[in-house]
Structure 1
Amino acid sequence: MSVIALLSVAPVIEDSMATEVAKAVEALDEFDVSYETNPMGTVIEADDIDTLLAAAGAAHKAVDADRVSTVLKIDDKRTREQSANEKVDAVEDALGREARKER
C-alpha cells in the first residue's frame, strides 16, 4: 500500500464522542483499506489516493452531529511502497527499541 493517512473525525459536542467516532470507523469497512484506531485518530492505508479520500469522506459523513471536525493528514509516497508498519519499524530501528513506553 502506498497511501497512508491519519484521520481524525469527531462531533463537536460536550458529551462522549465514542458512539459517533465508532460510526466513522465503521464506515471505513465499506472500502478496500486497512486501518488501526488509536487514542488520537485512525491510521488508514490504501492502494491509491482516490480510495483513501472516499473512505475518509464516508467516515466524515457517518458522524451524526450538527458540527463535525475532521482532520486528514496524508503521506502519498509516490516513489516506492511503504506500509505504516514499516514506518514504525524504521523509527524503532533508529531508537534501538520499541517506540512505546508504558506509564
Structure 2
Amino acid sequence: MTVVALLSVAPVTEGSMGAEVAKAVDALEEFDVSYETNPMGTVIEAETIEELFSAARAAHEAVDGDRVSTVLKIDDKRTSDGSADEKVAAVEQELGREARSQ
C-alpha cells in the first residue's frame, strides 16, 4: 500500500518562515518516506499510514515557535499502490500535456 499526503507545517510568525519550514522538511530524512516540497507544502509518500504519521509528527515537532500550524491531507487508496507521480501522469495523459503552465 502507498499512502500519499500533503503536509504543511509553519510557525505562526510575522517574519520569514523559511528556516523553520526547512527544519520540518529536514526531519523527514529520518523516515522511510519520499517527499517533494512545493510552495504550498510537502507531498509525502509512505508505505504505511503509521510511517506517514510518524514523519508528519516529527516535522511538526521540529518547528520552533510559541504556536505551530500543521495541516495534513491524506490520500489512503487501499486498493492500489499508485504513487504520486502516477497520479500526476494520469492527469497529464488526459490533458495531453504537462500539468503546469508553459
TM-score for both structures, normalised by structure 2: 0.98
Q: Distance in 2 between matches of 1:10 and 1:78?
A: 29
Q: Name the residue aligned to 2:95.
A: 95
Cα shift at 1:45: 0.2
Q: Distance in 1 between matches of 2:15 and 2:25?
A: 19
Q: Deviations over 1:29-73 (max 9, x none)?
A: 000000000000000000000000000000000000000000000
Q: Which amino acid aligns with 2:15?
A: D
Cα shift at 1:88: 0.3
Q: Name the residue aligned to 1:83.
A: 83
Q: Distance in 2 between matches of 1:61 and 1:95?
A: 39
Gap regions ≥5 residues in structure 1: none
Q: Name the residue aligned to 1:74.
A: 74
Q: Deviations over 1:57-100 (max 9, x none)?
A: 00000000000000000000101100000000011011110001
Indicate the SS of the match to 1:65. coil
Count of residue correspondences: 102
Q: Which amino acid aligns with 2:22?
A: A
Indicate the SS of the match to 2:45. strand
Q: How does 1:4-19 map to 2 (within 5 A)?
A: 4-19=4-19
Q: Which amino acid aligns with 2:59?
A: A
Indicate the SS of the match to 1:58. helix
Q: Which amino acid aligns with 1:82?
A: G
Q: Distance in 2 between matches of 1:32 and 1:88?
A: 22
Q: Distance in 1 between matches of 2:97 and 2:56?
A: 32
The RMSD of aligned alpha carbons is 0.8
Q: Distance in 2 between matches of 1:48 and 1:97?
A: 32
